[in-house]
Amino acid sequence: MIDDPLFYLAAIPAVVLTGLSKGGLGAAFGLAAVPILALVVSPVRAAGLMLPILLISDVVAMWSYRRHFSADLVWHLMPAAIFGTFLGWATASYVSDDVLRLVVGGLAIAFVARIFLLERAHARKVASGTAVGDPPPTGKSRFGAAIWGTLTGYTSFVAHAGGPPFQTYVQPMRLSPTLFAGTAAIFFGALNMMKVIPYAMLGQFTGENLLMSAILAPLTVGSTYVGVKLVKQIDERMFYRILTISVFAVGLKLIYDGAMHLFGL
């Protein structure tokens, strides 16, 4: 695989998207990494290959946002995410890759539909004169944190696809772009570190995978720094528009891939 040009054609954009995602420019961008790599290697191997890449970019992102994150929100979501991670480890060998693609893709589309309906409802209120400005931010919910935190941990473990569940819960809070990106960086950095031992137990850290990760590491670091710089300069409305569009595009792709393989379409 190390001499296969097709591998690098898939791995380079996957790593760049991961870096931009970890830098804060849309947590959903990283969701595309495993499906892109799965074009040239198995989904299981793609997930194993991406974890060292994620850990490298996590270090860059966590350092960059060390003063800009909501510690309260991280602790609020973490217990459920840890449970979801354990659930993913316990069921990793029983869950079909295609079923997982459909589930994650469906969650992504449901998230976008929810955002669209909330914005439509608010626009009607603005037109009628009963509201002004952007939709009001939502607050924290124990029930919401339990559901979306568990889904984040589970999908993060089995496919590095925790972005959509995390965004579904956090995006309506309307954090500033820097605070949103920093909170995501610290949260997913901690979560990915917890995945190291279970992944090692599942035999994911092969010598070739680690060598591939080392070769791609400079690109990971560079693209993460680019993501950090862009987040600090981008307009808030544009930032959230990019988040939503990225989730929608990847959700459609996951549903398409899952349906094609599962139902032979």
CB 148 within 8 A of CB 167: no
CA-CA distance, 229 to 178, in Å (whole number)? 10
Residues 109-137 have pLDDT tens digits of 887 887 788 778 767 776 776 655 566 67
Output the 3-class SS for 123-185.
Answer: HHHHHHCCCCCCCCCCCCCHHHHHHHHHHHHHHHHHHCCCHHHHHHHHHHHCCCHHHHHHHHH
Q: What is the pTM of this model?
A: 0.79
CA-CA distance, 13 to 117, in Å (whole number)? 32
pLDDT of 80: 96
pLDDT of 265: 61
Query: What parts of the chain have a pLDDT lower than 70?
Result: 1-3, 26-32, 34-35, 38, 42-44, 122, 126, 129-136, 265
CB 251 within 8 A of CB 164: yes
CA-CA distance, 166 to 97, in Å (whole number)? 20
Domain ranges of the chain: 5-263
CB 61 within 8 A of CB 22: yes
pLDDT of 122: 67
- Provide DSSP, 34-58: HHHHTTTS-HHHHHHHHHHHHHHHH
Q: How many helices (H) and strands (E) does the chain have?
A: 11, 0
pLDDT of 133: 57
